[in-house]
Structure 1
Amino acid sequence: MRLFPSSTLARYLGQMFVVRVLAFLIGLVMVLQTLDLLSESDKILAVDGNGYGALAHYVSLRMPQLISQFLPFSVLLGTLVTLATLNQNSEVVVMRAAGISAHQVLMPLVAAAGLISAGHFLFNETVVVQSTARLQAWERVDYAPRSVIQPPEGQEIWVADGDTIIHAREAIQRQGQLILPGFELFERQEGSHLRRITTAEKAVYANGAWTLHSVRVYSPTGEPATAQDTLPWRTNVQTDRFLAVAVDPATVSYTRLRQAIRELSEGGRPTESLVASLYHKISGPFSSMLMPLLAAVSAFGVVRSGKLFVRIVIGMALGFGYFVADNFMLAMGQFGSVPPFLAAWAAPLLFLCIGESVLFRTEE
């Protein structure tokens, strides 16, 4: 009735599992990063001033995304190879003959996958969101030479109002006011010639009107900039347009996204798609814990029956089926077709039941 087998056996299984997961992850990321770099290198090197340093910078920003995206898939492949190897060498038969249940055989793998899931979540929160924000900022300027790409505090705002370009560091809704920190206004004449650049510490929308604070106005002719404490601003852009692009779940952490959802909810804005993404920030890394259970079908059964390959294919099909169902439900949640909680957790709960039913039917 113990949850784990002996400590020696648990370390043996856990170490074998982690080594294979890391091997698959490194191999997949290296191959995919090479292919991705080949597709983007022409665009990067086409910009004057970009060289091998720019390519290395792109790799440093893109690789965390690939690691996060393919870590659960590497856990699936690592589990399949680990369990198939144990089955092929009759080690599973020995463990079962010693009185160890199927769940006890899998528990060291599930525990190791749980640690991988926790590390995956922390990696997303501390590294992936920052690298994604930097990469998107670099892509917006067409890979222009920049020594350091600073990540925005939130999702940067770029909105066009005719020939005028509006830029802000982020959009914050608080106490009935809409605030755009780091405000910049690029006013152009017909064509592409700049007529005036206006910067402000922030733009505040309250009582139906915009006001710029700590304003500086620059002229393209080189005249000295003029400064004002406040300046009224009129625009045809509706406030909903600023809020619509204010939050990108891929570039903000869990706590920042939750705060943005609260601010939008207070302003009466729809937040279902953001709530689904918020839940998926937890359910996504949790998927690694399901992989040992979905791949367990490859561990059991008599090797001499000749069905080991069929069992591996079944385990891989269950894993791929999970990824397809998870992406489908998340897309449905972002479109508002299903409730946010169901969009994020329906696939994990469904395949948890499927994996347990297959395991009980075949072994327990």
Structure 2
Amino acid sequence: MQLDFFPSRTLTLYLAKLFVVRILAVLVMLVLVLLALDLLSETGDILAAPGNGQAEILQYASLRAPQLAARFLPYSVLLATLITLVTLNQNSEVVAMKAAGLSAHQVLAPLLLTAAVVSAVSFGFNERIVTRANATLKAWQAAEYGPIPEAAAGDGAAAGVRSNIYLTDGDHILSAATLAGAGEQIVLTGVTWYARTPGGIIREQVRSPRATFAAPGWRLENPVKFDVAGAVTDRPAAMVVGENLSPARIMLQSIDADAQSFWELGESIDAYEAAGRNTDEMRAKWWHRLSGPLSALLMPLLGSVAAFGLARSGQLFVRAIIGMALGFAYFVVDNAALAMGSFGGYPPFLAAWAPFLLFLLVGETVLIRTEE
């Protein structure tokens, strides 16, 4: 019986149902509370754009909710684990299962199986919904909640729209709020060109609502040029800047890892490597696309300390706090390792997977030492 992790189908379904209901309840509660707080800070900016109203606020909520759900799903699994196990312990159901001959791993097996399913669903949700919401929301925010460029509209992934473009052409700088299209059909909006001296001092600033490829360079439409030395403003009919900035370079520079799917990001990494660019940050995020959703699988193991030990011993609350501390410690270490991997402090694979493997061993050790 000790080698059979699911000795009872009825018990497995019972525990899995309890766990799923609590995960959904906690997740909905967290998303609603955090979304309400987020709307309090963003509603003013949304309504400041001409023509925006309630529909745009609801649109923002529909784009922000998937981001919050993806971010806080592991936290929901952790809290649901503690709630489920503490309730089972208080009702002496864990004692009954142990008396029937179940080991600690057999008690946790239905929760681990449910968490594995949640991890798989989370990965699919991130790939199909969250990446598209990221791309669309960033493009909308870059347009200051105004209309997104027409070339970017259509697909749920904002059909190639990218935001916050920043490029250097020698000493000069080209920045754009959004980019739409691809190749020679690229359209930049909210463009600013900074012409600098070899010492890095800005001598001229040019602003334009729109720029297109001029082969070579980028043609600024209705530019407003400001000469810093003479404090003179000029409005030429048109202007071409950035002749060394090719469409291929702009497309390569403007990649947003959070707005690309797992497979698209892999292709972008290959393109960066072919161009001789550093890929540590992108590769760390690529690996984290796998290890991130799997963090839900760790939560039942880290929170299992709350399941065992007699409730009447008075230590149940302390055990729940220990389980919560272990879970939140994982998130702190995971974020720190990912940040270290992004700027080359850790190898990308280690940055993404070391926290998961470390806390897998910690959770298993705590479970064995306290119960088995």
TM more than 0.5: yes
Q: Note the 1:163-242 alignment, pairs <5 A.
A: 168-169=179-180, 181-184=185-188, 199-200=212-213, 211=216, 235=243, 242=250
Q: Which runs of 5+ in 1 are unaligned?
A: 172-178, 204-209, 221-231
Can you list the C-alpha shifts for 1:45-93, whole angstroms capped at 9, x where unaligned?
Answer: 1222111011001001100000000000000000000000000000000
Cα distance change of structure 1 residues 100 and 20 upon mapping to structure 2, 3 Å threshold: same
Aligned counterpart in structure 2 of residue 16 of structure 1, from 18, 21, 38: 18
Partner of 2:77: 75
Contact 1:49 1:145 in 2 (8 A): no
Cα distance change of structure 1 residues 326 and 32 upon mapping to structure 2, 3 Å threshold: same
Q: Distance in 2 between matches of 1:34 and 1:363?
A: 42
Q: Classify the secondary structure of the residue corresponding to 2:165.
A: strand
Partner of 1:175: none
Greater mean deviation of Cα atoms: 162-171 or 334-343:
162-171
The count of aligned residue pairs is: 337
The alpha carbon displacement at 1:155 in A equals 3.8
Q: Distance in 2 between matches of 1:59 and 1:307?
A: 41
Partner of 1:262: 270
Q: Note the 1:1-364 alignment, pairs <5 A.
A: 1-145=3-147, 150=153, 151-153=158-160, 155-156=162-163, 158-159=165-166, 168-169=179-180, 181-184=185-188, 199-200=212-213, 211=216, 235=243, 242=250, 245-364=253-372
RMSD: 3.3
The alpha carbon displacement at 1:211 in A equals 4.7
Partner of 2:232: none
Can you list the C-alpha shifts for 1:83-140, whole angstroms capped at 9, x where unaligned?
Answer: 0000000000010010011001001000001110000000000000001100000000
The alpha carbon displacement at 1:249 in A equals 1.4
Cα distance change of structure 1 residues 73 and 187 upon mapping to structure 2, 3 Å threshold: closer
Contact 2:63 2:133 in 1 (8 A): yes
Can you list the C-alpha shifts for 1:135-182, whole angstroms capped at 9, x where unaligned?
Answer: 0000001111569973143745734776976664477xxxxxxx5652
Can you list the C-alpha shifts for 1:328-357, whole angstroms capped at 9, x where unaligned?
Answer: 000000010010011000100000000000
Contact 1:4 1:104 in 2 (8 A): yes
The alpha carbon displacement at 1:233 in A equals 8.1
Contact 1:247 1:260 in 2 (8 A): yes
The alpha carbon displacement at 1:251 in A equals 0.6
Q: Distance in 1 between matches of 2:220 and 2:258?
A: 34
Q: Classify the secondary structure of the residue corresponding to 2:212.
A: strand
Q: Distance in 1 between matches of 2:315 and 2:160?
A: 54
Cα distance change of structure 1 residues 197 and 155 upon mapping to structure 2, 3 Å threshold: closer
Letter in 2 for 1:117: S
* Percent identity of paired positions between Structure 1 and Structure 2: 47
Letter in 2 for 1:143: Y
Q: Provide TM-score, normalisation by structure 1.
A: 0.83
Contact 1:168 1:180 in 2 (8 A): no
The alpha carbon displacement at 1:14 in A equals 0.2
Q: Provide TM-score, normalisation by structure 2.
A: 0.81
Cα distance change of structure 1 residues 145 and 274 upon mapping to structure 2, 3 Å threshold: closer
Q: Which runs of 5+ in 2 are unaligned?
A: 195-203, 224-239
Cα distance change of structure 1 residues 93 and 42 upon mapping to structure 2, 3 Å threshold: same
Q: Distance in 2 between matches of 1:110 and 1:84?
A: 16
Q: Distance in 2 between matches of 1:356 and 1:187?
A: 55
Letter in 1 for 2:119: S
Q: Classify the secondary structure of the residue corresponding to 1:158.
A: strand
Q: Classify the secondary structure of the residue corresponding to 1:295.
A: helix
Q: Classify the secondary structure of the residue corresponding to 2:115.
A: helix
